[in-house]
Structure 1
Amino acid sequence: MKTSQAWIEYCKSLSPAIVETCARTAVAAGGASLARALNQALPDWNFRHALARGGWYRLGGIVDDSGARISDNLEAWVEDALDACDGDIHQLIDAHAGENLHATRLVGQTHYLTAAVGDGCDDFLQLEIEDLQEVRGHRLFANEPATLEELVDPRGGGDPPLPLGLPCYKLRRIQHIGAFLERMLAQKPEPAPIHRMIADWRQSSAGAASSYANHWVIATREHLDRYHQPVFRAQPIATLAGDPPEFAAPPGTSGLPLQEALNRFDRAVGYPLAWYFHMLTTKAVPHWVAQATVEDALAGFAYLPQRDVDVIRHWLHQPYAV
């Protein structure tokens, strides 16, 4: 069994093959085609396309009217130009009056792909690959900006985006999720909500029925605090297509009607006790349901396995949200 550091080094060793695969795979073919290409390049693993999340953008560079590249980094160019004008943004505007310079953006989505390493709930590799396209955006200085934010990323209006090339895939991150969660515990021994969620999955009927990575990916972040100590964050994201189903039971429901509502939700999502994990994460299920199921179990309604009742009771004594 690899240590956390060994997994980090191993994932680094996979990066060149992933970068090369991204470069030769057409975005238009879709996420399933990307997974097939990765599995051909890395035959030791069986990556599956789990989720695509879009609707975001990053600041890009600067081009002129002809599309010629002025800078690859809009923010750095603006900061240097402002320093040359002694920090006077009005002088900066005057210095570039009449120049037709355009800011660019990188728009796209993140594809999550997973591959099981072992039988553990968190024993899987997770790939994050970005689907990026650079577009020409607003014309610099045209809005007479009063602040740096208005200059580099004004809100509303502006020219319609103009694509500057075809979209492409770019590797953002590959990691072993279990190793990342171990590093979180090493930094702060008190289990975070994500650790408790993983433990609940392992102990419940959900874990017996399906792999965690079949239904969830984990968005991770790592940065240094002001004392230069690493800070880790992990947020589970359901891979369910679209929004979770509506929970069809009003407060106060118990017994057979509650059992039927739980079963409908679980069938729609695709695994047992799905309602509990969506109660913790997507808030699709209200918290009163947990109390009602335990009260039903104590009253003799045995529609949940005892291990699920134990998980829910523990949550009632020590609630958490992810």
Structure 2
Amino acid sequence: MMPLLEKHEHMSDLCHRVKVMDDSSRLEEALQSALEDGDLKWVMTRGGWHRWGGVVDGEYAPIASNLRQWAEDVSGGDVDELIYSYRDRGYFVTHLAGKSHYFTLPTGDRPEQFVQIEVEELQEVIARPLIDHDWFPESLEEFLDPLDYPQLEPEPVTPPYYRFRRMIEMDKLLDAPAECDRNLNNLRRFFNDWQHSSAGDADQFCRQWVLLLRDYQDSYGELRIDAKPMTVLHGSLPELPDGEHLSGASLANAIHGYDRLVGYPFAWFFHMLSSKSSNYAVAEAVLRDQMGAYDYLPARDLKVLRSWEERPYSV
């Protein structure tokens, strides 16, 4: 396989040419053919997000593709001048309604050895009138992102289309220096725990999880990537067992039942670590059981759990 980073430009062109269908199968086939070998699969689609688009006239003909740039250019920084000049034009602000499609391709035996491809499905839709005659923003920032502004039905302006977002070799991401980056250090532990638990024998990590990536600048102005694991079952995830009220056989049945629903052993542990409201009570209850008469965890999973008990972390 050619170095994957050299394929970004080709991927971008490919995504632009693929027509959006009801599912992502055609896109998956196109991406697989571009990679030539390996076993690439669609694993998850995350929707319900948007970003600001541009400006269109009353017939939905494009005026500008970037709202902020257009507003800064025509106003010269004077929001009152913008309101006065465009109040009777009948223009609309648009936004880009988005979905993120995630594809993964294993590249080795370790859980972090995979490529993740992220493709956005975007559609420009009407968001709001550019000017409301009863509204007088005090600044350009308030004009760009107003509170309590009348929103319109998101009527389509363009057909949906794909846009290549990024392709990341996850093991290379983890190779970055992380002496002071707790996010990456915890992520390394997450992968390592998967490798050494029964989950690692049951399925490939990249078929059960994706990493949500966010670019940001640190306090020194350096560009960094924040990475958070998200289960591919994010929309239909069962509740973690109630560690505060269950113990013994009932707790054993609950965590094994949870694992069966999710599809691999020790799933409850990894979902606990990635939960926003980390339910550590279930881990504490399992550990109490293991100190008593119960022995319902494989030895390797108990070793991982005890290591977490000594040095708790979350992702």
Which TM-score applies when normalising by structure 2? Answer: 0.91
More displaced stretch, 243-252 vs 53-62: 243-252
Q: Distance in 1 between matches of 2:58 and 2:111?
A: 52
Counterpart in the other structure of 2:122: 132
The 3 A distance-change label for structure 1 pair 42 and 208 is same
State how 1:179-218 maps to structure 2 within 5 Å: 179-185=172-178, 188=181, 192-218=185-211
Check if 1:151 corresponds to 2:176. no
More displaced stretch, 188-197 vs 107-116: 188-197
Q: Distance in 1 between matches of 2:271 and 2:282?
A: 12
Structure 1: 5+ residue stretches without partners: 1-6
Residue 243 of structure 1: CA displacement? 2.9
- The structure 2 residue matched to 1:18, chosen from 11, 21, 29, is 11
State the secondary structure of the residue aligned to 2:176.
Answer: helix
Letter in 1 for 2:157: L
The 3 A distance-change label for structure 1 pair 283 and 16 is closer
Check if 1:116 corresponds to 2:116. no
More displaced stretch, 55-64 vs 152-161: 152-161
* Paired residues of 2:125 and 2:156 also in contact (CA < 8 A): yes
Check if 1:238 corresponds to 2:231. yes
Where has structure 1 moved over 3 Å in runs of 4 or more? 153-156, 186-191, 247-250
- The structure 2 residue matched to 1:279, chosen from 272, 275, 289, is 272
Residue 191 of structure 1: CA displacement? 5.4
Residue 297 of structure 1: CA displacement? 2.0
State the secondary structure of the residue aligned to 2:3.
Answer: helix
State the secondary structure of the residue aligned to 2:166.
Answer: strand
Counterpart in the other structure of 1:54: 47
Counterpart in the other structure of 1:45: 38
Check if 1:168 corresponds to 2:158. no
Q: Distance in 1 between matches of 2:210 and 2:19?
A: 24
State how 1:28-43 maps to structure 2 within 5 Å: 28-43=21-36
Counterpart in the other structure of 1:92: 82
Which TM-score applies when normalising by structure 1? Answer: 0.89
Q: Distance in 2 between matches of 1:224 and 1:241?
A: 28
Residue 129 of structure 1: CA displacement? 0.1
Q: Distance in 2 between matches of 1:74 and 1:284?
A: 37
Residue 288 of structure 1: CA displacement? 1.7
Residue 249 of structure 1: CA displacement? 4.1
Cα deviations by residue, 1:192-225 (Å, 9 ceiling, x for unpaired): 2212111111111111211111110001223333
Instruction: Calculate percent identity across the aligned residue pairs.
Output: 35
* Paired residues of 2:53 and 2:93 also in contact (CA < 8 A): yes
Residue 48 of structure 1: CA displacement? 0.6
Residue 188 of structure 1: CA displacement? 4.1
The 3 A distance-change label for structure 1 pair 237 and 165 is same
Q: Distance in 2 between matches of 1:269 and 1:190?
A: 25
Residue 271 of structure 1: CA displacement? 0.4
Counterpart in the other structure of 1:265: 258
More displaced stretch, 90-99 vs 185-194: 185-194
* Paired residues of 2:242 and 2:281 also in contact (CA < 8 A): no
Counterpart in the other structure of 1:68: 61
Check if 1:220 corresponds to 2:213. yes
Residue 168 of structure 1: CA displacement? 0.6
* Paired residues of 1:247 and 1:284 also in contact (CA < 8 A): no
Counterpart in the other structure of 1:253: 246
* Paired residues of 1:108 and 1:130 also in contact (CA < 8 A): yes
More displaced stretch, 209-218 vs 64-73: 64-73
Q: CA RMSD in A?
A: 2.3
* Paired residues of 2:111 and 2:206 also in contact (CA < 8 A): yes
* Paired residues of 1:275 and 1:285 also in contact (CA < 8 A): no
- Count the aligned residue pairs: 312
Cα deviations by residue, 1:253-272 (Å, 9 ceiling, x for unpaired): 22211110111100000000
More displaced stretch, 258-267 vs 13-22: 13-22
State how 1:295-314 maps to structure 2 within 5 Å: 295-314=288-307
Q: Distance in 2 between matches of 1:91 and 1:165?
A: 30
